[in-house]
Structure 1
Amino acid sequence: MKTESLSARYAFWISAAVVAHTLWTSAAPAMIYPLYAAQWHLSFTLVTVIFAVYPLTVVVTMLLFAGLSDRAGRKYVMLAGLLSSAAGVLMFAAADSLAVLLAGRVMMGIGVGLSAGPSAAALVDYAGQGGSARAGAVTLGAQSVGFAAALLLAGALVTWAPVPTRLSFYVLFALLIVLIVLCLFIPGDRPVGMPSRLLARPDVPVYLRHTFIYAALAVTGAYTHGVLISSVGAQIARSLIGSPSPWINSVALALFPVALGIAGSLARKIEARRSVITGSIVSATGMVSLCISVSEHSLFFFISASLISGAGYAFMTFGGLGLIAREARQSDRGSAMSMLFVFAYLFTGGLAVVLGKMATQLNLAVAVFTGALILIFICAVLIILGLFQLRSTNRLSAADI
């Protein structure tokens, strides 16, 4: 019994590390995009295409392999994802052209597409009975660590180390190899009696669809922050705010995941739908601060936007994941988590391309204002729907008394 407990604890924390890798891999090039743009004379459109290839690849991968971990086991799907991510990171480290960057981003997208849903589901599985709140909080904490590490490491190496476009990727590659080895020691978890056919048509069970729509919109709203932070955040700080130091810019952007981690520990104490409403209010406030920072060229408001938006992301993501973790059956959990991310990545990938095109044809400030207004609209919809659903739930509870 004690051995089983230790194995579950080990698997829980290795799964958390896999979650961390998904955000680290996603944000790894964030501080280096301006260097690529300067060295290879890339337009905003091409820079955002490099970013957008990643979430769009994640979407395709999740659509093809949604529910695979429910049939093959979380361990083996996470391993496959880590191997693909490592290959993509190595391609970035050796990149000498835009084509290699795009290929590397595709491999990263496949890696995260394979591992994001299973790792989130594994945390719920290994958290034990009633551990969905703990799993949600650890998911956010792991995302915070991965995101902050990517920004701070890249910012430091870009500022002070040689070969700034390569070194941070070599470091990440080495860490991924270590994580792959550690993941090998997770106990096998392929379910007994599951269908021999591993691939299945991605689907959300009928009983879960009402909850899923709201949860998917919440996570989509949260991930929209990533377009403005991971895709063009460094360029906003450099071009619109006027901050020339990569290190200062990386610290400012890293406040987003720091706030994410702190808010995540608070979010677990709030009911999931209330968490989404809280996050929507906070996120809308963060977008207002971002717009002020751009119009006034204010580093203070930019830092404020990073902090406030990080907290909003945490509450929205925790609420969305918490709703699925609470209401999905274990046999459907991996597929539901993957489909949740499909909607989020599909929307953010398309949005990144649109905003990049807008920044090239008009200017970056217009693109930022547009992205902020879109997120504020999503937040408004979540607040209205959430309050309506809470009111309906309270009425039903009162009627049962």
Structure 2
Amino acid sequence: MAELTRRSSFFVAAGVVALSLWVSSAPTVTYPLYKSDWYLSTTAITALFAVYPLALALVLIGAGNLADFIGRRRAILLGLAAAFLGTLLFAIAPSIAWAFVGRAFTGIGVGLFVGPATAAMIEYSPPGRASWASSAATVATSVGLGVSTALSGALIQYAPFPTHLSFWILVAVILVLGGFSWFLPRGGDIEHTAWRVSLPKIPRGLGAAFTTGTFGVSLSTAIGALIFSLGAAIAKELVNSENAFVHGLSFVLFAIVSSAAALAIRRFDSRASLAAGGITTAIGVMILVASSFTHSLTEFLISMVVLGIGWSMVFSGGLGVIGPRTPSRQRASTLSAVYLAAYAVQAGAALTFGALATSHGLRWALVAGGISIAAFGLVVTALALVLRQRERVDLHSESPAVDNELAREL
């Protein structure tokens, strides 16, 4: 069977990574419609959001190492099949129950394909530029977010079938991407033993780097929990913007800035990106909180810009700290462990924010979430600075250096 070239495989893997955030954020602009059409509480909406990371986390617990045994291609195809089914359920959903099942299947799908696709981007990246793949992954996820929210916002505001049409388009995209993924290279660095359910493992010597990088990626998902579960409601109820297309464009602005930042920092030390990203995130979330008190759309959009920069720094910095330091045979399972922790954080944050919004009101949920995320950002900054100092002091630490680019960074 014909196979894609290394370069083409890199871009297909990037497309799959982009799909992960498209699938995740597809219902974002639709949540206010679900709330009004199905008479739901804010807790129900955030629970619907949280089903995705919970399902994803369960898959990573049981099958986070699957791609290391069956190969990147097969794991990606399995994940795309589950995501297809989940999106199809959203496209025809007549009630919240259907949406919950669809959300679970999309979480299962992304749980199966996001780790292998990220690992494939590193493996199919240009020789000697493995750490560059983390920036490319950030751009890919930002593109997925931007396309999803812009398309959903426009269709909700100006097209018929506002709660269904965008999902039918996503169904078609998954089919096309699945067709290209079929021709990804077979085999690769896989274990030649029988697969068994196993928790994702951290390679020996990677403890400090893994912890720091995972905190960075987890901060990005906590930002996502706040913005994507409550962002449209914040814009509508606290900033007093009624246009769904404008809500979608605010997330597009976030995505555009994230992509630009990822490209701008791609040559930066990943630990420095993490340190700067933690502080930037803290600033951005405080601006978002302030916009809810001033009812300023301008401040809301500024917060999306600042948070987009911070999100890009902590996500790409987190992956950049871990990916190139991990042996290729363990890379998919290690990245799955990162995503497991990150999406567990996202699920917990979304459920907490939703409960606070129902019991104390949306504004105070935003205040509590903003303060906690700002504190989280400062912790990430501290961890990144400690890791950088530690690795500078001991250039011959146990963390495996797998290429010359990593050795120069250390």
Name the TM tier (shorter chain): over 0.9
- Would you say the 8 A contact 2:326–2:334 is kept in 1? yes
Cα distance in 1 between the residues matched to 2:196 and 2:339 = 20
2:125 is the alignment partner of 1:127: yes
Asked if 1 retains the 8 angstrom alpha-carbon contact of 2:209 and 2:387, the reply is no
Amino acid across the alignment from 2:175: I
Alignment TM-score, normalising by the size of structure 2? 0.93
Per-residue CA distance 1:46-66 (angstroms, 9 max, x = gap) = 000000000010000011111
Please give the TM-score of this superposition, normalised by the length of structure 1: 0.95
Q: Is it true that 1:23 corresponds to 2:41 in the alignment?
A: no
Find the counterpart in structure 2 of residue 99 from structure 1: 97
CA distance in 1, matches of 2:317, 2:76: 24
Partner residue, 1:337: 335
Match of 2:301 among 303, 310, 314: 303
1:130-152 C-alpha deviation (Å, 9 max, x unpaired): 22232112111110110001100
Partner-residue secondary structure (3-state), 2:205: helix
Percent identity between the aligned chains? 34
SS in 2 for 1:180: helix
2: CA distance between counterparts of 1:388 and 1:338? Answer: 24
Which residue does 2:66 correspond to in 1? 68
Could you list the per-position Cα deviations for residues 285-322 of structure 1 after superposition, in whole angstroms to 9, with x for gaps in the alignment? 10111011011111011001111101101110111101
1:216 aligns with 2:210: no
CA distance in 2, matches of 1:167, 1:19: 23
User: Which residue of 1 is the match for residue 407 of structure 2?
Assistant: none
Residue equivalent to 1:147: 145
1:81 aligned to 2:98? no
Structure 1 residue 346 displacement after superposition: 0.3
The one-letter code sitting in structure 1 at the alignment partner of 2:21 is L
Give the 3-state SS of the residue equivalent to 2:340 in structure 1.
helix
Alpha-carbon distance, 1:192 to partner: 6.1
Contact 2:135 2:263 in 1 (8 A): yes
1:81–1:113 contact (8 Å) kept in structure 2: yes
Q: Deviations over 1:192-236 (max 9, x none)?
A: 662122543322123212211111111001111111221111110
Aligned to 2:347: 349
Residues 238 and 292 in structure 2, CA contact (< 8 A), matched pair in contact too: yes
Q: Aligned residue for 2:365?
A: 367
Deviations 1:16-52 (A, max 9, x none): 1100110000000000000000011100000000000
The CA RMSD over aligned residues, in Å, is 1.6
Letter in 2 for 1:373: I
**Rounded Cα–Cα distance in structure 2 between residues aligned with 1:129 and 1:196:** 31
CA deviations 1:85-126 (Å, max 9, x no partner) are 010001001001111110000000000000110000000011
What is the alpha-carbon distance in structure 2 between the residues aligned to residue 329 and residue 349 of structure 1? 29
Structure 1, residues 228-262: CA drift from partner, whole Å, max 9, x if none? 22111111000000000111111112111111100
2: CA distance, partners of 1:204 / 1:100: 37
The one-letter amino acid of 1:324's match is I
- 1:194 and 2:204 aligned: no
Other structure's SS at 1:232 match: helix
- Structure 2 residue aligned with 1:390: 388
Equivalent position SS for 1:151: helix
> What amino acid maps onto 1:159 in structure 2?
Q
- AA aligned to 1:29 is P
Q: State the one-letter code of the partner of 2:264.
A: L
- The one-letter code matched in structure 2 to 1:205 is P
Change (3 A) 1:8 1:384: same
Looking at structure 1, the residues matched to 110 and 26 of structure 2 have their Cα atoms a distance apart, in angstroms, of 13
Count of matched residue pairs: 395
